[in-house]
């Protein structure tokens, strides 16, 4: 995303990014700095990694604060991007109570900060609020099909409750809110052991291990490259205050899990074969966004094809695995 020189002064804000050392957060911090903002990166390093933001530490416009947003935070900033929360099943099911607390209490604390400072706040919600959808593809108007007592509920329902809080603060306290629902995103700086399908497949293929597919491989996902997602996120924050969302951000190109595995094997020249295992409880069979709202209101559409993004992600993991 190019930025005109005359816009830099407008964008020279002090921006808080919670979860800023995570996969998405680190890319967001990097892009905000490149566009002239000062960035306060807040993370408790439960899933975020310091190496994701090491290259930013010498930047005088970047500040790192270790903090858990389930506790209040008293800082002075101009905008808040609330990304803090473990986002992969392996991580969010490790401590499900803490996952729910991060989504709910974290939202309350960050909304309280935005209310006090009278600033804009963006919530990184998720396509998981749609659960295992009975409507395909998924528009923002769809209310979802979520099991509130299943093993994924700590994340799914935590994010749904966070959205509730955002809109209640908007209606009750006039807080300027932005809510996006992020669909499957991939790219460099994904955690190699996060259990997500792209990172799993690439790591297994590079090691010539069998690629694990849960279910028969016919379930579908749509994969958005991280650079596209970050551009959409920033566009949403900078949109007119009347656009609160929720707005779907994702790539509507749909692939089966088996197709993804075959692409990864081909792109890595791997000797891996495919190992089919039982599908976990409540794992969605279909996931594809309708992005008409993002296209119309933000002028945003993903531009990076899956093959191009996979090559960049494979290159990252090849370098990373050499250090393990």
Residues carrying an active site annotation: 155
How many Å apart are CA 248 and CA 181, to the nearest integer?
Answer: 5
**Per-residue pLDDT, 39:** 98
Report residue 218 as tokens: 């016919």
Whole-angstrom distance, CA of residue 88 vs CA of residue 147: 17
Q: How far is CA 311 from CA 247, 263, 267, in A?
A: 28, 10, 7
89-145 per-position pLDDT tens digit = 888 888 999 999 999 999 999 999 999 999 999 999 999 999 999 999 999 999 999
Q: Where are the alpha helices (DSSP H) in 221-324?
A: 226-237, 257-268, 292-298, 306-321
The whole-number pLDDT of residue 195 equals 82
Residue with tokens 């749509």: 222
**Would you give the DSSP letter of residue 7?**
G
**Splitting the chain (324 residues) into consecutive groups of 10 residues, what average pLDDT does each group show?**
42 92 98 98 95 97 98 98 90 91 97 98 97 94 96 95 98 98 96 89 96 92 97 98 98 96 97 91 87 98 98 96 78
Percent helix, percent strand, percent coil in the chain, to nearest 5: 40, 20, 40
H runs (alpha helix) in the chain: 8-11, 23-34, 89-92, 96-117, 153-173, 197-206, 226-237, 257-268, 292-298, 306-321
pLDDT at 9: 45
Q: What pTM did the predictor assign?
A: 0.93
Place of tokens 């989504």: 103
- Grouping H, G, I as helix, E, B as strand and the rest as coil, residue 114 is helix
pLDDT score, position 11:
57
Q: How distant, in Å, are the alpha carbons of 14, 154, 240 from that of 61?
A: 9, 35, 26
Structural domains in the chain, CATH included, are 11-321 (3.40.50.720)
């Amino acid at each position: 995303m190019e930025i005109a020189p005359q816009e830099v002064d407008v964008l020279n804000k002090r921006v808080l990014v919670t979860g800023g050392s995570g996969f998405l957060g680190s890319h967001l911090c990097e892009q905000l700095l490149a566009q002239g903002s000062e960035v306060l990166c807040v993370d408790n390093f439960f899933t975020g990694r310091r190496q994701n933001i090491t290259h930013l530490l010498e930047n005088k416009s970047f500040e790192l604060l270790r903090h858990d947003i389930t506790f209040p935070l008293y800082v002075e900033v101009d905008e808040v991007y609330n990304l803090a929360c473990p986002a992969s099943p392996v991580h969010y099911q490790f401590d499900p109570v803490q996952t729910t607390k991060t989504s709910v209490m974290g939202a309350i604390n960050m909304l309280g900060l935005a209310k006090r400072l009278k600033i804009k706040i963006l919530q990184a919600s998720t396509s998981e609020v749609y659960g295992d959808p009975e409507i395909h593809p998924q528009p923002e108007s769809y209310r979802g099909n979520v099991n509130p007592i299943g093993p994924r509920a700590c994340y799914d329902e935590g994010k749904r409750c966070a959205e509730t809080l955002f809109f209640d603060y908007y209606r009750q306290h006039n807080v300027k809110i932005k809510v996006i629902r992020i669909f499957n995103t991939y790219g460099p700086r994904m955690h190699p052991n996060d259990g997500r399908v792209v990172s799993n497949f690439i790591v297994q293929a590079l090691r010539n291990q069998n690629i694990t597919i849960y279910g028969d491989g016919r379930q579908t996902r749509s994969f958005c490259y991280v650079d596209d997602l970050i551009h959409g996120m920033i566009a949403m924050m900078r949109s007119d205050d009347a656009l609160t969302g929720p707005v779907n951000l994702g790539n509507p190109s749909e692939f089966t899990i088996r197709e993804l595995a075959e692409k990864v094997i081909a792109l890595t020249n791997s000797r891996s074969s495919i190992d089919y295992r039982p599908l976990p409880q409540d794992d969605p069979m279909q996931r594809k966004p309708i992005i008409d709202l993002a296209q119309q209101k933000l002028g945003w559409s993903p531009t990076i094809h899956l093959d191009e993004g996979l090559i960049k992600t494979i290159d990252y993991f090849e370098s990373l695995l050499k250090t393990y």
